[in-house]
Amino acid sequence: MTKSIFLSLVFHSAMIVITAITLPFMKRIPIDLPPILSVELIQISEKTNLPFAPKARETLEKIKKEDERIVSEQAPPSEKKKEKPDRIPLPEDLNKEKKKIVKKKQNPEEIKEQIRQASEFEKKELFDPNQIAALIDKSKEESAETLKK
């Protein structure tokens, strides 16, 4: 029994020491909050009903007049007369018209290009190989001269 009391005493003392050591780490820093201010909400329109400046009122009136002028200057839309058919087409006639519309093509006539052989006199040479070779030689000579210097 003395052994169990001794172990209990050691265990409890160890717990007290661990608690004492870790206590400063568990201490939290208090949060700094700014002081709470009470705010009263009011409607601005009740307190401040100031009239517009006279110049601002004049400019607003001018803008309104210009808008009215623009609307009045526009011509009314022209009236289109509705075309009335002479008779009401029967369902058979409608089917014929649909068939005709389907048969129509956007480009009914296809134009075939004629292929012809151009003669040597008509051909224009886009480049002359001799001139290209001369330019290459010239550039090589210039690059060689710059390397020698």
pLDDT of residue 15: 96
Place of tokens 């011509």: 75
Contact 29, 37 (CB under 8 A): no
Of 5-19, 86-100, 101-115, the range with the highest mean pLDDT is 5-19
Contact 97, 89 (CB under 8 A): yes
pLDDT of residue 10: 97
Contact 16, 23 (CB under 8 A): no
pLDDT of residue 131: 86
Residue 101, Cβ density class (10 Å: 0-12 exposed, 13-18 middle, ≥19 buried)? exposed
Torsion of CA 56, 57, 58, 64, to 10 degrees: 110
Distance, in Å, from the CA atom of 14 to the CA atom of 20, rounded to the nearest integer, reads 10
Question: What does pTM read for this prediction?
Answer: 0.20
SS3 64: helix
